[in-house]
Amino acid sequence: MSLSDLRNLTVSPFDADSSRHAIFAKFEALVLDLQQRGFRCEVLCNGSFVTSAPKPEDIDVVVRIDHDFAAQLSDEQLAFFDGLNDDLADHVVDTFGEVAYPYGHADYGAEEGPSWEAHYGMEHGQVWLKGVAVVKVGETDVGLRLRR
């Protein structure tokens, strides 16, 4: 899905005074920042922002990079990626960075801390995910690997 596709799905159908416009602008800035920094990743969007909720407070975002790409990150890219998991002051774009390991890899399933599914999986009413929109940044095959 492109940024334009995501905007048409999550912003365009809503009033101009909806919180969605400001939230999407900040999300778009994150995606452009990832592109400018040379990331190859999938950006998964989740939460009330990808539903028909009229006034979401934020957008939940997972930046998934392939383990091969993660091994080649520069110090600057690594610091930026690690910062995605920091509790930042701006909670409009709530980010989570994850390295994707293929099934059979020694580090598959060995991640420290909660996965993005555990982090974003349950809503306040104990309801599971309603869906995820995926924006690809750069060339990536993360989504093409079979997972268990």
Which tens digit of pLDDT belongs to each residue from 5-56? 999 999 999 988 889 999 999 999 999 999 999 999 999 998 889 988 888 8
Rounded distance between C-alpha atoms, residue 27 and residue 39, angstroms? 16
Is residue 40 within 8 A of residue 63, CB to CB? The reply is no
Which pLDDT does position 121 carry in this prediction?
A: 58
Q: φ, ψ for residue 133 (rounded to 5)?
A: -100, 140
Which pLDDT does position 7 carry in this prediction?
A: 94
State pTM to two decimals: 0.81
Domain boundaries, the chain: 3-140
Which tens digit of pLDDT belongs to each residue from 52-90? 888 888 998 999 999 999 999 999 999 999 999 886 646
